[in-house]
Each structure stands twice: as C-alpha cells, then as structure tokens.
Amino acid sequence: MNNKSITRIIFIVSLIFIILISTMGISFAATSKELRRQQSAIDSQIKEKNSEIAGVKSQMTKTLSQINELNSEISNYENEITSLQEQITNLNSQITQKESNIKEQQKKYDEQNDLLEKRLVALYESGTTSYLDMLLSSEGLADFISKYYLIEQLAEADQELLQKIDNTKKQIENEKASLENAKLEIENSKSAVSTKKNSLQSSVSQKNSLVSNLSEEEKKLQDELEEFEKDKKEIQSQLAALAAKSSGKAVAPSVAGYISPLAGKTKSNITTGYYGYAGHTGVDFACAAGTTVRSVKSGKVVISKALVRSNGSYKSYGEYVVIDHNDGTMTLYAHMLAGSRAVSVGQQVSQGQAIGKVGSTGNSTGNHLHFEVRIGGRPTNPTPYLP
C-alpha cells in the first residue's frame, strides 16, 4: 500500500470520527435541553402544588388549622341535623298518609261488616229454609236451573264479602304496624338530632375558645375562612333547591361517563384530594394559568358567577361555574381566571366544551382548578367519577 492510499484512509477515518462526535454532541445537547425543560416543568409543578390552597392552607397556623377542622365538623353536624330533620318531616308526612289510609280502610271495613250483618239477619229471618229446600221447591226443570244459579251467585257473593272483610282487616293491621314503625323511627331521629346538636355545641364552644386567642393577622384570615364557609352553605342550599326540582336519581360513578375537566390529566394528576384537609369539598389539579377548563359531561349551566366582596376583591370560589348533568349529579369548577368564564346560566353545554380557564381567584394562593361533584346539592368524592 503506497503513501497516497494510507493518507486517503486516514482522511476518511478522521472524517467519520468528526461526524460521529458532532452527531453525539448535537444529540447530547438536545437531550440535555429536554432534561432541563422537564426538570423546569417538574419544579414548576412542585412549586404550584406547594402554593395551592383551596383555602389559604399554607398560611394557617396550628390554631387556625384546628379552627378550620372545627368549622368542618360544625358544617358536617349541621348537614346531618338538616338531613335528620328532613327525614322527620318525611316520616310525619308518611304518618299522616298512613292515618288517612287506616281511616279509609276502617270505613270500608265497617261498611263490609254492616253488609255481612244484614246478610246474616236476612238468613236468620228466612227461618230454616236452606239452599236445598229452595231447590226441592222448584216447579220444573227451568225453575230448578234458575234457582241453582241464584244460589250459586249468593254463595259466591257471601264468600267474596267474607274475603274482602278479611283482606281489609289485614290491611288495617299492616298499616297500623307500619305507622308504629314510622313513629319509632321519628323518635330515634329526634334522639339523633339531640345528640348531634350537643356535639355541634361542643365544637362551637371549642372553636370560640380558640378564636378568642387569635392574633389580629390570624383573625383576618379566620374571617376569610368563615366567609368561605358561609358562601359554601348558601351555594349548597341553592343547589339542593335545584336538585329537588329534578326527578333524576344520581347515577353511579361507573356509568357517569365523565371525562377529565383538563385535557391530558386524569385522577392520577390530582394534587389535593377530597378532604385533603378540613373543609376541602373537592379535588385540585395544579396547572398553568390559562389552561382550558372543560365540561366533564353535557348538561345545563345553573351557576356562572364571580364571588366578590363589596370592595371588588375576589373571595371564596372566586370565578366559578356549576353544571347540572341531568343525571342526579352536578359539577363545580372554581378559582378560574378573572373574566375567563365562557358560559352563562341556562346555557346547554356539550361534553368537552370550554367553560373557562385555570386561574387563582378567590381563596387560592396558586394557579389550579378546584373540581367538585355534587349530589342533592351536597359534595361527594369526585375521584371515582374521574377517568
């Protein structure tokens, strides 16, 4: 091999080496850039997760946390008492209906019994004449057949009357037993209400004791929490009234057919869960401001508003929307970006339709979507409903 050939081979090998190094460098640069981007995204998510609130969580002192937990207890007791009182009202209504049914059945029984007595008197006054005597006194075959059918009808009527009397009597007995059970249930419910009220009073006393020792800064924050609880109760009452007008029974999570309120996110992306802390009535998804919020299912918008104070500042849920899905469930989307709500009350929306954008309005310290599922106006765990 001559020097020219050797030089040529060295040149080619060197060129290949330079190309390989360059390619590796570009690839490494791209990979390194991607890793830095991913790390930045992760850091951003961690920061958002740590700062999110759905209620000034990060700003709470130990005492405020205790008060917030007591607020949650108080709210639960009040809901339970309301539920028991509704149960008592329904039972009283049932008792009134049952008493009316018993009165009606008793009247029917008295009429049937009176008819039976008249029938027995008629038989007694007819003397010893029996059905056989009637048949033997027949004048010819036609008269015999006529009397036979008459006797058969009388016997059937007597039997039917006796059966009716027996059935009516049993119905009265059943209604009376059911009435007694309803009355017993009312007494149990009243006893439960009394117990819950005692527990409620105990929680209120504990809370008042803690509140009296708060600093001025803590009192200001406590006022915001109280304000939020008050707003939630008003919303719950409003949604319960709307739910009462609907005849639909709430569907099970497995057949609800919800999609995620945020494209590309699932329940695995939830950053704060249902009751992740006291008073948290939904789940949170930490994400960038301006991310599109979409309806998880078709339905009708029943609330679309901004909760603001008299000075114009946001409070509680801030910018929020509630959608009735006409299946016994409603969904609530809160803390959305100022002015981003894209739907209005009474509007029909389709599944996946944009209803607003992620923000941090109201009682929130970081960009995130607060999402709730409500049944009968009251919050339930949204997680099983989400994909």
Convert the pLDDT of each residue in 21-53 to its tens digit.
454 444 444 455 555 555 455 444 444 443 333
Q: Would residue 6 be called left, alpha or beta, if left means φ above 0 and alpha means ψ between -120 and 50 degrees?
A: alpha
Q: What is the pTM of this model?
A: 0.59
pLDDT at 27: 44
CATH of domain 249-385: 2.70.70.10
- pLDDT tens, residue by residue, 194-234: 888 898 889 888 888 888 888 887 888 788 878 988 898 89
**Residue scoring higher pLDDT (5 or 321):** 321
Task: Measure the CA–CA gap between 356 and 26, rounded to whole angstroms.
Answer: 41
Query: In degrees, to the nearest 5, what angle opens at C-alpha 218 toward C-alphas 217 and 219?
Result: 90
Helix (H, G, I), strand (E, B) or coil at 285: strand
Mean pLDDT, residues 283-303: 96
Phi, psi of 369 (to 5 degrees): -105, 125
Contact 134, 152 (CB under 8 A): no
Provide the pLDDT for residue 327.
94
Decide if pLDDT at 126 tops 70.
no
Q: How many CB atoms lie within 10 A of CB 143?
A: 12
State residue 246 phi and psi, 5-degree precision: -95, 140
Q: To 10 degrees, the CA torsion angle through 287, 288, 292, 295?
A: 20
Q: Crossing angle of helices 141-211/62-125, nearest 10°?
A: 160
Residue 37 corresponds to which tokens in the numbers above? 């981007």
pLDDT over 60 at 359, yes or no: yes
- First CA to last CA distance, the chain: 71
pLDDT digits (tens, 9 = 90+) for 362-376: 998 889 999 999 999
How far is it, in rounded angstroms, from Cα 337 to Cα 318?
9
Q: Where are the alpha helices (DSSP H) in the chain?
A: 3-51, 62-125, 131-136, 141-211, 216-244, 253-256
**What is the domain partition of the chain in residue ranges?**
91-204, 249-385
Q: Are strands 292-294 and 329-336 parallel, antiparallel or unpaired?
A: unpaired
Report the percentage of the chain scoring pLDDT > 90.
34
**Mean confidence (pLDDT) of the chain:** 79
